[in-house]
Amino acid sequence: MTTDDGLGRKFLGSAGWVLIEQWSTKVVSLLLFAVLARLLPPSDFGLVALATSIIAILQVFVNSGFSKALIQKRVLEPKDATTAFWTSLALAAIVYGLLVVSAPLLAQLFGQPELRLVLVALGAIIPLAALSRVPAALLAREFAFRTLSVRTMLSTLIGAAIALPLALGGFGVWSLVAQAVAESAMAVVVLWSSTSWRPAFAFSIESLRSLWKTGMSLLGIELLDAIQAQVDKLVVGALFSVSELGIYSLAQRLGVMLQELVSSVISRVSLTTFSRTQDDLERVSRIFRQLTFATAALSFPVFALVAVLAPQIVPFLFGPGWDAAIPLIWIMAGGWAFAAVAMFDRSALVGTNHADVALWLALLQNAISIGLVFAFAPLGVLGIAFSRFARIVTWPIRLYALHRYIRLPAWRYLWQVLKCVIAVLPAVVAIAILQTTPWAAVDGAFWLFAVPLGVLGMSSSLATCYLIADPENRRAVRVQIFQVFKRRGESSA
């Protein structure tokens, strides 16, 4: 990914800041989550998960796809950003008003009276997010991920500083609500104090039209994504208890944190990268393969090892009362792996100006995903968890689109993903066998069993993956390591 246009260096520098952000914020979030899980019952987490699922769908309308359209657009005029900002803010006011009005009906629909006030309070993140969308997109367009990373880190710390005292003080579910609202508010403060961009009091119909094509395609994609990403929690909340939803959301949230740690470091800068190289499809295809390999090589062992070591990890992190999450993690791990390798598909298509194709793919995949949730719902919460992995049936269609529009060699791509699976299998099988021995149940099993085996499994998987990787991917790893040390040497000099 290195050429004389400096894109490789920009990508690596941006990825470095995203790496710092993700690891610092997710470690803090995980620690806070572990503490709150010991202080609050699963029903509190379930209630917030239900409200968050509803709000996540509504937030898509606020974004309207305009922020990503700003990133993708070759030439950006000042009026484009201003128009996108006022449009998002107006939509946020309308959506939040509708949420407040419909909150009593939603609470009645799900049979949760407390949901009404939680929705109204938590819904404040909708207008707060609207204030952040355009400034964040402009910074991402210029690879200014340092500012975005600082924003996220400070927001996470503020949220933790507010939620923990409230939970200790007995405020229950409101500690989780306050955490989310505080994070969104702090993000706005940091963003607006870190950028010189300010919206003018103007609105351009011409700019709205220019953003409309890509923006509406992305709106459709993101709306479908939001629905399929939240439908499982909504179904669990509607058919089962909020305590069961709390346990389900804990397992899923652990997976989301892991995905963000190992994958979003690269995915956050992938759209900008593909947009900058959209006129060179051979380069786009090469970068796509390298990003996918790097993500799969890291994420597959992480997901697999967390799943096979879940009997030790869950009690250690979250305490008693959460053991029902262990089989959910076993089932969900396959879905996490699929999501990790598929996350660059959309960025590659949108970045190469094929947002309409990405929309149709999202329509197909999400329709199948939603159908699978309802199809497996009669099997209980475990069935709904399995439906998330069953989405892999759409993979051949995605590969066909990538082959056609970015010239991706499908079999070469699949073979490099399969190599990552082969690399982690010996460690997983060995640990699964050791789980049947007394060693797995000793006092302090997390430290004496899970930690050493996790380190050994991760090391052996990464080493094996590197050894059996294609020369292209090994060369990319060596180049990036060289650039990291070169940058460090220049900084210390």
What local confidence, expressed as pLDDT, does residue 268 receive?
58
What local confidence, expressed as pLDDT, does residue 83 receive?
86
Q: How many CB atoms are closer than 10 A to CB 8?
A: 18
Check if the beta carbon of residue 315 is closer than 8 Å to that of residue 237: no
Burial class (CB in 10 A: 0-12, 13-18, 19+), 368: middle
What local confidence, expressed as pLDDT, does residue 487 receive?
45
Check if the beta carbon of residue 115 is closer than 8 Å to that of residue 103: yes
What local confidence, expressed as pLDDT, does residue 277 receive?
81
List the end-to-end C-alpha distance of the chain, in Å, as a whole number. 26
Helix (H) or strand (E) holding 104: helix 78-110
What local confidence, expressed as pLDDT, does residue 266 receive?
63
Report residue 400 as tokens.
Answer: 């066909």
Long-range pairs of 31-38 with CB within 8 A, sequence gap ≥ 24: 32/159, 32/160, 32/163, 32/164, 32/179, 33/253, 33/257, 34/317, 34/318, 35/164, 35/167, 36/163, 36/164, 36/167, 36/175, 36/176, 37/250, 37/317, 37/318, 37/319, 37/322, 38/318, 38/319
Q: Which amino acid is at 442?
A: V
How far is 54 from 56, CA to CA, in rounded Å?
A: 6
How far is 457 from 134, CA to CA, in rounded Å?
A: 42
Check if the beta carbon of residue 272 is closer than 8 Å to that of residue 141: yes
Q: How many CB atoms are closer than 10 A to CB 196?
A: 5
> By C-alpha distance, which of 308, 152, 119, 324 is closest to 236?
324
- What does the longest C-alpha to C-alpha distance in the chain come to? 70
pTM for this prediction: 0.85
What local confidence, expressed as pLDDT, does residue 492 receive?
47
Q: Which amino acid is at 249?
A: S
Q: pLDDT per position in the chain (493 positions), as tens? A: 444 455 555 554 445 555 555 566 777 888 899 999 999 999 999 999 999 999 999 998 876 566 667 766 666 777 888 888 888 899 999 999 999 999 999 999 999 999 999 999 999 999 999 998 888 888 777 665 666 777 778 888 899 999 999 999 999 999 999 999 999 999 899 888 877 888 888 888 887 777 766 666 667 777 888 888 899 999 999 999 999 999 999 999 999 888 877 765 566 567 667 877 888 889 899 889 988 888 888 889 999 999 999 999 999 999 988 999 999 999 999 999 888 888 888 888 888 888 788 888 888 888 899 999 999 999 999 999 999 888 889 899 999 999 999 999 999 999 999 999 999 999 999 999 999 999 999 999 999 999 999 999 999 999 999 899 888 787 766 655 544 444 445 444 4
Helix (H) or strand (E) holding 346: helix 344-351
What local confidence, expressed as pLDDT, does residue 18 receive?
54
